[in-house]
């Protein structure tokens, strides 16, 4: 790993050099090809991949991974050790509990809650006002 004035570089499993910048609020690792609001808080051990967008007043917890093409709205709380799969959309003021694994292409409606340790399958819809704690159903994850 190489550090240069807030930039972190390392080689991934395929031998490609991957670069991240430290986010000014929290120090998390953000791809130069991601858009993260300066008012968001990205924990030092969290990653935001290229093509992702993270809105203002959003918190991404320790060890969490916001994968490629993910969109996270305003005022969202992402707990620790969460994975938001590629192409997922998380609406404003949603809550994602610690250790949740959210699959690819998932839609989490504004205000919805995904409980801790929940596995949300690819393509699921988590509706607002409901707490998703079980996996497998398209309407409730």
Domain ranges of the chain: 34-132
Please tell me the predicted confidence (pLDDT) of residue 94: 98
Q: What are phi and psi of 108, to 5 degrees?
A: -110, 110
Please tell me the predicted confidence (pLDDT) of residue 129: 59
- Considering the segment(s) 34-132 as one domain, its CATH architecture is 3 Solenoid (2.160)
Counting DSSP H helices and E strands in the chain, the numbers are 0, 21
> Does the CA dihedral 98-99-100-102 come out positive or negative?
positive
Tens-digit pLDDT string for the chain (141 aa)? 444 448 888 888 899 998 999 999 999 999 999 999 999 999 999 999 999 999 999 999 999 999 999 999 999 999 999 999 999 999 999 999 999 999 999 999 999 999 999 999 999 999 975 455 444 444 444
pTM over 0.95: no
Q: What are phi and psi of 51, to 5 degrees?
A: 80, -5
Please tell me the predicted confidence (pLDDT) of residue 7: 86
What is the rounded distance in angstroms from the CA atom of residue 140 to the CA atom of residue 19? 36
Please tell me the predicted confidence (pLDDT) of residue 10: 83
Q: Which tokens sit at 62?
A: 């320790």
């Amino acid at each position: 790993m190489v550090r240069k004035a807030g930039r972190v570089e390392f080689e991934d499993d395929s031998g490609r050099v991957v670069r991240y910048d430290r986010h000014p609020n929290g120090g998390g690792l953000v791809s130069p090809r991601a858009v993260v609001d300066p008012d968001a808080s990205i924990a030092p051990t969290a990653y935001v991949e290229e093509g992702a967008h993270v809105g203002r007043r959003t918190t991404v917890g320790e060890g969490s991974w916001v994968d490629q093409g993910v969109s996270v709205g305003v005022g969202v709380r992402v707990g620790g050790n969460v994975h938001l799969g590629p192409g997922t959309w998380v609406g404003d003021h949603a809550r994602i509990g610690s250790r949740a694994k959210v699959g690819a292409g998932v839609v989490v409606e504004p205000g919805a809650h995904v409980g801790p340790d929940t596995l949300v399958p690819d393509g699921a819809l988590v509706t607002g006002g409901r707490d998703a704690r079980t996996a497998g159903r398209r309407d409730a994850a």
